[in-house]
Amino acid sequence: MIPNKATYRTTPQKKALLSLLRSTKAHPTAAWLFDRLRLEMPDVSQGTVYRNLSVLAEEGVIRVLRNGSAQDRFDADVSEHYHVICESCGKVEDISVNVRTDANSEAERASGYEIHSHRLDFYGVCPDCQRRAAVGDDAE
Amino acid sequence: MIPNKATYRTTPQKKALLSLLRSTKAHPTAAWLFDRLRLEMPDVSQGTVYRNLSVLAEEGVIRVLRNGSAQDRFDADVSEHYHVICESCGKVEDISVNVRTDANSEAERASGYEIHSHRLDFYGVCPDCQRRAAVGDDAE
DNA sequence: TTAATTGCAAACGGTTTGCCACGTT
DNA sequence: AACGTGGCAAACCGTTTGCAATTAA
């Protein structure tokens, strides 16, 4: 949680973190971002990375993909879109399936909730892992 | 992770845990299940609860709802259905919106992945919390 | 019998936080 | 000057795991 509602500031660390996240489509984890960021800013700390990710999310500039007891992932693309997750290698990619624009209102009717958003994830095996499985058919 | 592929056994702890989970529609957390289970079996340990939840999930008897860095939740209903999550109180409920039976194949076409399943969660404010907000309009 | 399961408690791992110096506004 | 932010390191907390004893099959 962020200390309080406040006027956020622009700092070198925050800028670098955001542009780093914007530079990839790989939906990286905090650890990955931290490692990368350290290359350009050897003194950044984990705390800073996590705090800024929270701030950026609160500002609505990035999106947090919470993924269970596994690590969270972050996405600089805040437009409405869905994800495919490879059950074999853990990769997360964008997927372009038709967004049902009426999904939220249908859900509202069905539940009585005031719906703000929804999240749709597909789980499967990515092309790379399919190939890998077909060749080295040793596992199992 | 479960030790290995093996022949699972039926134990009192496992049976009790499963029927406890089946007795509620509240998608409880491991902690809740542990506390409840302790009422009937004062000596169960957390380890046992977690291990059995993993086993049951692996057997396909229950479903794990991974929910970000927050606690996982568990669901004895393994049929295809979706959830609404209250952003205010954290409650998780089933929601009956039409399941798009063709969603997976559309996603397959769009991504090249071999899709096995998908997950759809709606986020919003439940009726209780809406009421609460309307009355005690103090916060914020 | 014998391998899976249990209880216990310690370890894990990602994330958060307290402290105080620092830098943005 | 005021207060949000940074670095550091310890704390958190849900979950996992090693071990020796137990128990289902």
Q: What pLDDT, on the 0 to 100 scale, is given for residue A3? A: 42
The residue written with tokens 């309307």 in the block is B134
Q: Among residues A57, A78, A99, which one ends one of the domains?
A: A78
Q: Rg for chain B (alpha carbons), in Å?
A: 18
Report how far apart, in Å, the C-alpha atoms of A44 and of each of A52, A54, A72 are.
11, 16, 20
Work out the average pLDDT over A73-94: 90
Does B73 share its domain with B85? no
Å: B1 CA to C4 C1': 15
Q: What pLDDT, on the 0 to 100 scale, is given for residue A52? A: 96
Q: Who among B107, B115, B121 is closest to A118 (CB)?
A: B121
Q: Are A135 and A97 in contact (CB under 8 A)?
A: no
What is the rounded distance in angstroms from the CA atom of residue A91 to the CA atom of residue A128? 10
Work out the average pLDDT over B98-111: 86
Do B122 and A114 count as a contact with CB atoms less than 8 A apart? no
Q: What pLDDT, on the 0 to 100 scale, is given for residue A140? A: 38
Does A60 share its domain with A35? yes
Does A51 share its domain with A92? no
At A138, is the pLDDT very low, low, confident or very high (cuts 50, 70, 90)? very low
Cα angle B19, B48, B77 (rounded to 5 degrees) comes to 35
Contacts 24+ apart (CB under 8 A), A102-105: A103/B97, A103/B122, A104/B122
Å: A68 CA to D17 C1': 19
Answer yes or no: is A8 CB < 7 A from strand C: no
Q: Are B99 and B60 in contact (CB under 8 A)?
A: no
Q: Among residues B32, B55, B78, which one ends one of the domains?
A: B78
Write the CB contacts of B99 (distance below 8 Å, at least 6 apart in sequence). Answer: B80, B81, B82
What is the rounded distance in angstroms from the CA atom of residue A122 to the CA atom of residue A92? 10
Mean model confidence pLDDT for chain A: 87
What is the rounded distance in angstroms from the CA atom of residue B16 to the CA atom of residue B4? 23
**What pTM, to 2 d.p., does this model score?**
0.85
> Which protein residues have Cβ within 7 A of any strand D atom?
A 3-4, 6-9, 11, 13-14, 41, 43-48, 51-52, 55, 69; B 1, 9-12, 29-31, 46-47, 50-51, 54, 70-72
At A47, is the pLDDT very low, low, confident or very high (cuts 50, 70, 90)? very high
Does B44 share its domain with B73? yes
CATH number of residue B125's parent domain: 3.30.1490.190
Q: What pLDDT, on the 0 to 100 scale, is given for residue B99? A: 65
Does B87 share its domain with B73? no
Q: Which of residues 24-83 of B touch strand C (CB under 7 A)?
A: 41, 43-48, 51-52, 55, 69
List, in sequence order, every residue forming a beta bridge with A122; answer none if it has no partner. A84, B118
The residue written with tokens 């509240």 in the block is B26
Q: Residue B60 sits in which domain range?
A: 1-78
Residue A17 amino acid letter: L
Does B63 share its domain with B98? no
Does B28 share its domain with B63? yes
Nearest Cα of chain A lies from the Cα of B20 at a distance, in angstroms, of 22
Nearest Cα of chain B lies from the Cα of A27 at a distance, in angstroms, of 15
State percent of chain B over pLDDT 70: 87
Could you list the beta-strand ranges (E) of chain B: 63-65, 73-75, 82-86, 92-95, 114-125
Q: Rg for chain A (alpha carbons), in Å?
A: 18
Does B73 share its domain with B84? no
Chain B: residues touching A (Cβ < 8 Å)? 64, 66-70, 72, 84, 86-87, 93, 95-98, 100, 103-104, 106-108, 110-127, 130
Work out the average pLDDT over B89-102: 83
What is the rounded distance in angstroms from the CA atom of residue A72 to the CA atom of residue A43? 23
Q: What pLDDT, on the 0 to 100 scale, is given for residue A14? A: 96
Does A97 share its domain with A65? no
Does B9 share its domain with B66? yes
Does B89 share its domain with B135? yes
Lowest model confidence (mean pLDDT) among A95-109, B5-19, B44-58, B118-132: A95-109
CATH number of residue A26's parent domain: 1.10.10.10
Do B66 and A68 count as a contact with CB atoms less than 8 A apart? yes
User: Six-digit token pair at B76?
Assistant: 């004895």
User: Six-digit token pair at B108?
Assistant: 């397959």
At B4, is the pLDDT very low, low, confident or very high (cuts 50, 70, 90)? very low
Tell me how many domains chain B contains.
2
Q: Among residues B30, B54, B78, which one ends one of the domains?
A: B78
Q: Who among A97, A111, A118 is closest to B106 (CB)?
A: A97
Does A2 share its domain with A69? yes
